Amino acid sequence: MTALRSWVPGADGSGFPAEHLPYGVFSTGDGPARVGARIGDHVVDLARLAADDAGGVGAVGDVFARPSLNAFMAAGPDAWRHVRSRLTELVCDAAARPLVEPALVPVDRTRAHLPVEVADYVDFYSSLEHATNLGRLFRPDGEPLLPNWRHLPVGYHGRAGTVAVSGTPVPRPSGQRRVGDEVVFGPSERLDIELEVAAVVGVPSVPGRPVPTDRAAEHVFGIALLNDWSARDIQAWEYQPLGPFLGKSFATTLAAWVTPLDALAPCRVPGRPQDPEPLPYLRLRPEDDWVLAVDLSVALRPAGTAVEEVVSRTSAAGLYWRLPQQIAHATVNGAHLRTGDLLASGTVSGPAPGTEGSLIELTRGGREPLEVGGVRRTFLEDGDEVVLRGEAAVGDGVRISLGEARARVVPGAVPGGR
């Protein structure tokens, strides 16, 4: 596949070339939030393009003059492919320039909004290395991996209402934690991140009807980076027996740009072996047995420093449980998918030092601080900024950058004042 050439200035060779075209929701000035597609350092205003009936993107109906992607996502794969192919032609065909140029907005003149009205939010736990590392840290005296882990994609239901778009500050949560034999209350002292890749559901499924692995991908609109902020001290005290609650529900950062699953088709690679073989409802045909070769990184800029440093590099290709298995499992009891469901991978960690997707792993439970920009960090301080990034090779030397998930920690409100 030869690399596409776009007439949009700066698009070729950027992380947002014509091969990418991720979707998001933006506004300018006091204008309404609406759907756009990113190309280079510009946003194509799809609401305007559709209103002008330019290039046939409006054929999918009134889905772009909306404050979320949900209406477009619900329109289904035929509509997604129609818009994507028309848009690709429009940004590559110089003859279309007069049609598209009026709808082109520099990205630095836009404000990003949460791209998806999040329906249900499920967070899986699909990295073998992360589950093993965390098991060792949280249960040092037991087997790191619980007996169920290799039989099913473990997950929990998260809090959809506190998912916020990249750039939204994260207030430090307060809660209960155990210090020695005492239970105390106050701001979390072990605030952490989790590097994750989320799938965004477009097409809902039918209540009561499980989605089989070989139909799962048809429901997925796209992929976006996600930071599952985690207060380890609150989590450690509350999580048994029912799992994470307030240690994670205070904030989740979602990237502003959702990369279409089709844009990532060239970076599908076979998943790692699974042992034991999963039960029949989790088995995969070879064509459904894929993970995404997306290179991921975590960068940290400590408060008061100008330096941002990468503290972890890893890959989504090492995940043990595949997306089709996660979807089959999440619906096998009859629970259905809804447009806007967010299915997060779980922290992505690799086997080597420096490939872990959380600070608790990178610092061995807070015992081995990182040196970042001349300062030491175990967990996050107020003012620290974290940026998650992802990159993928999509053929013929073309690399795309997933929309980043960025946020800064700020002091939180403490009940009773302080």
Pattern 49-88, binding to Ca ion, x per CB under 5 A? ----------------------------------------
Cα distances from 366 to residues 309, 351, 359, in angstroms, run: 19, 19, 8
Stretch that binds Ca ion, among 123-131, 275-283, 324-332, 333-341 (CB under 5 A): 123-131
Contact call for residue 194 and Ca ion (CB under 5 A): yes
CB of 86 to Ca ion, least distance (A): 37
Q: Nearest to residue 256, comparing CAs of 108, 71, 399, 116? A: 116
For Ca ion, the closer CB: 45 or 194: 194
CB of 361 to Ca ion, least distance (A): 12
Catalytic residue among 20, 130, 219, 329: 130
CB 196 within 8 A of CB 348: yes
In sequence order, what are the beta bridge partners of 260?
222
Cα distances from 128 to residues 143, 160, 318, in angstroms, run: 13, 25, 9
For Ca ion, the closer CB: 228 or 361: 228
CB of 256 to Ca ion, least distance (A): 20
Stretch that binds Ca ion, among 223-231, 233-241, 250-258, 393-401 (CB under 5 A): 223-231
Q: Nearest to residue 328, comparing CAs of 153, 157, 165, 117? A: 153
- Closest CB to Ca ion: residue number: 228
Contact call for residue 192 and Ca ion (CB under 5 A): no
Quote the CA–CA distance of 276 and 296 in Å, as a whole number.
Answer: 28
For Ca ion, the closer CB: 42 or 329: 329
Per-residue tokens: 5: 């050439």
- Residue holding tokens 């979390």? 188
Quote the CA–CA distance of 170 and 252 in Å, as a whole number.
Answer: 9
In sequence order, what are the beta bridge partners of 174?
187
For Ca ion, the closer CB: 45 or 228: 228
For 289-305, the three-class secondary structure string (H helix, E strand, C coil) is CEEECCEEEEEEECCCC
Residue selected from 19, 45, 123, 404 as contacting Ca ion according to rule CB under 5 A: 123
CB of 77 to Ca ion, least distance (A): 28
Quote the CA–CA distance of 37 and 51 in Å, as a whole number.
Answer: 15
For Ca ion, the closer CB: 50 or 327: 327
CB 261 within 8 A of CB 223: yes
For the segment 3-42, give every residue that binds Ca ion (CB under 5 A): none
CB of 101 to Ca ion, least distance (A): 42
Quote the CA–CA distance of 229 and 359 in Å, as a whole number.
Answer: 11
CB of 317 to Ca ion, least distance (A): 19
Q: How many residues bind Ca ion (CB under 5 A)?
A: 3
Q: Say which DSSP state 10 is in.
A: T
Quote the CA–CA distance of 403 and 418 in Å, as a whole number.
Answer: 37
CB of 104 to Ca ion, least distance (A): 37
113 tagged catalytic: no
Residue selected from 228, 295, 361, 384 as contacting Ca ion according to rule CB under 5 A: 228
CB of 123 to Ca ion, least distance (A): 5
Pattern 322-351, binding to Ca ion, x per CB under 5 A? ------------------------------
Stretch that binds Ca ion, among 117-125, 176-184, 200-208, 296-304 (CB under 5 A): 117-125
Quote the CA–CA distance of 273 and 275 in Å, as a whole number.
Answer: 7
Quote the CA–CA distance of 17 and 42 in Å, as a whole number.
Answer: 11
In sequence order, what are the beta bridge partners of 23?
37, 258
Quote the CA–CA distance of 161 and 28 in Å, as a whole number.
Answer: 24
Per-residue tokens: 222: 């796209």
Catalytic residues: 130
The site for Ca ion (CB under 5 A) is made up of 123, 194, 228
